[in-house]
Chain A
Amino acid sequence: MSQAPGASDVDAIWREKQKAKKDKRRRRKVEKEKLLINSLMDAFTIILCFLMKSFGSDPVQIRQSDELMLPRTSEEQKGLEDAIVIAISKKAIMVQDNKVADLRDGAVDESLKRDGMDGLLINPLLDALKERVQHLKMLAARTSRPFEGMALVVADSKTSYRLITEVLYTAGQAEFEKFKFVAAEGANYNIN
């Protein structure tokens, strides 16, 4: 059987048209993917900006953990201020994130206190705070900002009152005069 003249040309044209359609579909597909990446990038950029803002807005960075779970407060107005941070976790006392004394059963070992078990002054804490005070006073002398002697106390909710007073007493001996207790917002009680 012989083919009609021009039939192969028609086939070729039809194949070309099919190929063109296929290419067009493929191009369309590629364009669609590009659009997906762009919107994803937009979303990521917004998330990134939000996270970077929340990361750098507080003057002091406090991170809660199992060892340092802050109590809740009904206070809603006074936020964090830039000051020396004395943290009391379940296991240690820290000054500006540097561990200065270990805690055993929520108490400082008597060997670390000036007057033994009944003493209030914690020697390594006093040394660390004095060093900080010296540094802050040096900064105050170079700038117009005076030394305020303010400390933020960031303590675990189960910290004993005894340890709190020991820390405050020691800080007082290192020339700290103003104290602020840090607590997480959102107490489950309403005070009218």
Chain B
Amino acid sequence: MGKPRREEEGYEGDPLIPILNLVCMLIPLLLYGAVFVRFMTLDVNAPKIAQGQPQQQQDENKALNLTVMITDQGFHFKVNPIHRLPWMSQATDTASAGPDIPKKDDDWDFEEFNRKLKELKDLHREEVNIILGAEDDIPYEVLIKAMDYSRGGSEPESQLFPVVTLTRGVV
């Protein structure tokens, strides 16, 4: 009497074992392929290959034409001359001018960069465009950080210049 009952008990448990095996195989496989980091995207307009706009055209245009160049020395700001602020370099080419925001502790001073962008935004509330450029060897992570700071906060009122266009090299 006892023996057949034991067999019955064993029979009840058996069908779970292949499923359990399958699940045990699937879990490591899915864990390997699973992505636990969320990825975000940042919109960017295609690079402008023509380096800078002719001076005359800039003067005729009343737009801000904000261009920021990231170099190994820091940030260089360029705007339409009629909107130039006292702290901005008067030089027409980045190579001869010192940075408007020099590096601090061997790193780009993004806090100051953010303050300057806010100052410009306060003067030009409706402006949303910014052109970003960099020296050839500037790492991608610095560009992404500059884009983050250019965009500003996530709230509409704290946004600065969310429409980013890249430009080739240093103007």
B148 beta carbon closer than 8 Å to chain A: yes
Tell me the minimal C-beta distance from A107 to chain B in angstroms. 9
Tell me the minimal C-beta distance from A88 to chain B in angstroms. 8
| Chain A residues positioned under 8 Å from B2 (CB to CB) | 23
Tell me the minimal C-beta distance from A130 to chain B in angstroms. 17
Contact B148 A75 (CB under 8 A): yes
| Chain B residues positioned under 8 Å from A58 (CB to CB) | 35, 39
Interface size class of B (residues with CB under 8 A): 35 or more
A77 to B70, alpha carbons, bound, how many Å?
26
B163 beta carbon closer than 8 Å to chain A: no
Across the interface, name the chain B residue whose C-beta is closest to A78. B41
B91 beta carbon closer than 8 Å to chain A: no
Contact B41 A187 (CB under 8 A): no
B116 beta carbon closer than 8 Å to chain A: no
**How many residue pairs between the two chains, A and B, have CB atoms under 8 Å in the bound complex?**
176
Contact B44 A157 (CB under 8 A): no
| Per-residue interface assignment for chain A, residues 175 to 191, with 1 indicating a CB less than 8 Å from any chain B CB and 0 otherwise | 01111111111110101
Tell me the minimal C-beta distance from B155 to chain A in angstroms. 9
Across the interface, name the chain A residue whose C-beta is closest to B1. A23
Contact A157 B141 (CB under 8 A): yes
Contact B40 A78 (CB under 8 A): yes
Contact B136 A187 (CB under 8 A): no
| Chain B residues positioned under 8 Å from A156 (CB to CB) | 140
A161 to B150, alpha carbons, bound, how many Å?
17
Contact A41 B16 (CB under 8 A): yes
Stretch of A62-70, A96-104, A138-146 contacting B (4+ beta carbons < 8 Å): A62-70
Q: A158-B141, A191-B114 are in contact. Are A180 and B44 (CB under 8 A)?
A: yes
| Chain A residues positioned under 8 Å from B110 (CB to CB) | 189
B134 beta carbon closer than 8 Å to chain A: yes
Across the interface, name the chain B residue whose C-beta is closest to A155. B140
Q: A155-B140, A160-B140 are in contact. Are A191 and B42 (CB under 8 A)?
A: no
Q: List 7 A-B contacts (CB under 8 A).
A: A48-B26, A51-B30, A52-B30, A54-B34, A73-B144, A159-B139, A191-B151
Given contacts A74-B154, A157-B139, A161-B143, 8 further A-B pairs with CB under 8 A are A71-B141, A73-B147, A79-B41, A152-B41, A180-B41, A184-B40, A191-B152, A191-B158
B contacts, CB < 8 Å to A = 2, 9, 12-13, 16, 19-20, 23-24, 26-27, 30-31, 33-47, 49, 70, 110, 114, 134-141, 143-145, 147-149, 151-154, 158, 166, 168-169
